[in-house]
Amino acid sequence: MENYQMIAKTLAGLENELFAELENLGAVNMLKRKRAVSFDGDDALMMKANMALRTSISILIPIMEFEANDEYELYDQAFAVQWEEIFGLRDTFSLTATVSGEIFTHSKYVALKTKDAIVDRFRKKFKSRPDVDTVDADYQFNVHIQYNKCTISLNSSGDSLNKRGYRTFSNEAPLNEVLAAGIILKSSWNGKDDLYDPMSGSGTFGIEAALIATNRAPGLNRGFGFQRWSDYNQALFYEVKEKLEGDVKESETNIYCRDLLTENIDNISTNVEKANLEENIKVRKEDFFRSEKIGEKGVVFLNPPYGERLQIDEINSFYKNIGDQLKKHYTNHEAWIISSNLEALKFFGLKPESRHQMFNGGLECKLNHYKLY
C-alpha cells in the first residue's frame, strides 16, 4: 500500500498528545502544526487513525495545494482539480472552509466559490452535476486558506471523531470527548491508579478514562466518511478493526463517576452502558463536599460549573470550597481542574504545578494541575 500525506486535526493545546498517539500508531514524517499534526501513512493507517486516535477530531487527506491571491485564482485552481477522478455524479458532496489572513476573510464565500468551481467542471464535462448535501454527504471536502496558501482536503472521518457513539444523553455543559481524553493523556495517568470525576455531568472523563484503561479504541462503535467512498476497501477495514478489538484488555482500575443530580446519574449510567463499560465505572449520586477518597493514591479530574452556563450562587466561594475539600480529603492525590472561570479559580487556595490554556466549545479555559500533599 502506498503512503500519502494526512492531517489529523485536534483542539488547541492537545498537539503534543496527538503527536505521541500518532507516533504510537506508526505514522511517519510527522510535523506538529497549529491544532493539527501532519503525517504520512497508508490506507490501513488512515483507518486506524480514525478508529484509534483519542485526541483527533478529523483526519483530512490533502488533494490539492496552491496559491490564490483573489477569488478568481481560487476558482481557477479549484476548477483545475480532477474532481471526476475523486467522486461521481451520483455521489453527494459538501464543502466547508476555514480562512485566516487578509486576502480571504469570509469562509462561507470561499466554500461557495469552490463549490461553484466543482459544479462547473462537472457540468462542462458531463452536462450534469452532483448534488450538495450539507448534512450527510458521501464526500466531505475542506478548503483551508492561510493568507494565499490554499489546501483542499477530503475529510476521511465524516462526523467529527469526538462523536464516539456512546453519548446518548448529556447535561447542559458536557466536555468534548476529545478534550476529556486529551486532558487525561496530558496528566500521564498510568491507567491503574484510582480515578475520580466528582462532578461528572454526562460522565465524559470517566468513560474516556475507562476506554484508555481497557486500551479500547474510541471509534470501534461508529462509522466513518471513507466507508462511503467508491474505493472503500471493506476487507482492510475489518482487518484493522479486528486487530484493534484484539488489543482490548481487562482492567481492574477503579473509576468513580459522581454527580449531585439524579438525572445526571441516570444519564451517565445510560452512556456507560452504551459504551459497554459498566464493569469499569462505578456511578453514584454524591455531593462532592460530603465525599471522601477511597484509595490511598489516585487522580481527580474536575470540570466544575463555570458559573456562566450553569447558575451557581457565589461561584468564588464554591471554588474555594472545592479547594478545601481536595486538601482535606484527597491527600496523596493529583487533581486536574478545567474551568473557564479564571477569577473563581484564584479562590482555589492551592498553587498549581502547571497551567495549560485550553478551549471548551469556544470558551477559553485554564487547565490547572495540583499535587495534594
Ligand X SMILES: C[S@@+](CC[C@H](N)C(=O)[O-])C[C@H]1O[C@@H](n2cnc3c(N)ncnc32)[C@H](O)[C@@H]1O
Binding site for ligand X (CB under 6 A): 170-171, 173-175, 198-202, 204-205, 259-261, 264, 287-289, 303-305
Q: Alpha-carbon distance 331 to 334, whole Å?
A: 8
C-alpha cell at 326: 481536595
Q: Alpha-carbon distance 101 to 148, whole Å?
A: 8
Q: Are 54 and 182 in contact (CB under 8 A)?
A: yes
Q: Which residue has the cell 456507560?
A: 272
- Least distance to ligand X, CB of residue 212, Å: 16
- Closer residue to ligand X, CB minimum distance, 12 or 173: 173
C-alpha cell at 144: 483551508
- Closer residue to ligand X, CB minimum distance, 101 or 361: 361
- Closer residue to ligand X, CB minimum distance, 103 or 178: 178
Q: Alpha-carbon distance 231 to 156, whole Å?
A: 12
Closest residue to ligand X using C-beta atoms:
201
Q: How many CB atoms lie within 10 A of CB 75?
A: 16
Q: What is the SS3 assignment for the chain?
A: CCCEEEEEECCCCCHHHHHHHHHHHCCEEEEEECCEEEEEECHHHHHHHHHHCCCCCEEEEEEEEEECCCHHHHHHHHHHCCHHHHCCCCCCEEEEEEEECCCCCCHHHHHHHHHHHHHHHHHHHHCCCCCECCCCCCEEEEEEEECCEEEEEEECCCCCCCCCCCCCCCCCCCCCHHHHHHHHHHCCCCCCCEEEECCCCCCHHHHHHHHHHCCCCCCCCCCCHHHHCCCCCHHHHHHHHHHHHHCCCCCCCCEEEEECCHHHHHHHHHHHHHCCCCCCEEEEECCHHHCCCCCCCEEEEECCCCCCCCCCCCHHHHHHHHHHHHHHHCCCEEEEEEECCHHHHHHHCCCCCEEEEEEECCEEEEEEEEEEC
- Closer residue to ligand X, CB minimum distance, 251 or 360: 360
- Least distance to ligand X, CB of residue 37, Å: 25
Of the candidates 293, 290, 292, 281, which has an alpha carbon nearest to the alpha carbon of residue 260?
Answer: 290
